Amino acid sequence: MIHFVVLISRQGKVRLTKWYSPYSQKERTKVIRELSGMILARGPKLCNFVEWKGYKVVYRRYASLYFCMCIDADDNELEILEIIHHFVEILDRYFGSVCELDLIFNFHKAYYILDEILIAGELQEPSKKTVARLIAAQDALVETAKEQASSISNMIAQATK
């Protein structure tokens, strides 16, 4: 099972974290610090797997962002690489040529997408189309809610309450 997902920028800034195992706040910061040190220090040609504290950390670098996932020692690392790529492709399809800036400004959407793909540390949805459809539906909901809140009738109703 995947224990956590961490997205780190090239400068060491954390863009996204999702924890599927119990880690206290202190442990989380410690883990992130250790991992950033380890992974950012690795050269380009080395393999994408790092052994760390009995777990394996699979990472891949996309432009300036490192996508890291921590798995158990007996899991299939190549599959996790595929899962990372799956996630990135969906992000790409949704944002259209996604870059780090998109993730900074729309981090909530990135979390929604991740939650659609992974649940309890396992892959949930292998189909990109389904995920795209679901996120689109959610966006539509958000739009209607916004519209409703800003419609004139609502404003009058609020004022006279």
Partner 1 sequence: MGPASSSLKEKHHGVLIAGVQLCTDLCKASTDALEYLRKNCTEGLVRILRDVSNSPYAPEYDVAGITDPFLHIRVLRLMRMLGQGDADSSEYMNDILAQVATKTESNKNAGNAILYECVETIMGIEASSGLRVLAINILGRFLSNRDNNIRYVALHMLMKAVTVDFQAVQRHRTTILECVKDSDASIRKRALELVFLLVNDTNVKSLTKELIDYLEVSDQEFKGDLTAKICSIVEKFSQEKLWYIDQMFKVLSLAGNYVKDDVWHALIVMISNAPDLQGYSVRSLYKAFQTSNEQETLVRVTVWCIGEYGEMLVNNVGVLEMEEPMTVTESDAVDAVEVALKCNSSDITTRAMSLVALLKLSSRFPPTSERIREIVMQHKGNVELELQQRSIEFNSIIQRHRNIKSSLVERMPVLDESAFIGKRVGSSQATLSADKSSRPTSGSPGASLKLPNGVAKPPPAPLVDLLDLSSDDVPASTSSTTDFLHDLLGGDLMSPSSSAPSGGGAGTDILMDLLSIGSPSAPTDVSVPNIISSNQGNAGELETAPASVMDFLDGLPSNSSLPGDKDPIYPSITAFESSTLKISFSFTKQPGKPQDTVIQATFTNLSSNTYTDFIFQAAVPKFIQLHLDPASSSTLPASGNGTIMQTLSVTNSQQGQKPLAMRIRMVYRVNNEDKTEQGQINNFPPGL
Cβ atoms 65, 100 nearer than 8 A: yes
Instruction: Please name which of 92, 72, 135 lies closest in space to residue 80, comparing C-alpha atoms.
Output: 72
77 scored as a contact of partner 1 (CB under 8 A): yes
User: Would you list the DSSP string of 27-64?
Assistant: HHHHHHHHHHHHHHTS-TTS-SEEEETTEEEEEEEETT
Cβ atoms 100, 15 nearer than 8 A: yes
41 scored as a contact of partner 1 (CB under 8 A): no
Residue with tokens 């979390």: 111
| Window 127-146: contact mask with partner 1 (x via CB under 8 A) | xxxx----------------
User: According to CB under 8 A, which residues from 1 to 30 bind partner 1?
Assistant: none
| Piece of the chain touching partner 1 by CB under 8 A; list 6-14, 18-26, 98-106, 120-128 | 120-128
- Residues in contact with partner 1, counted by CB under 8 A, come to a total of 26
83 scored as a contact of partner 1 (CB under 8 A): yes
Binding site for partner 1 (CB under 8 A): 45-51, 76-79, 81-83, 85-86, 119, 122-130
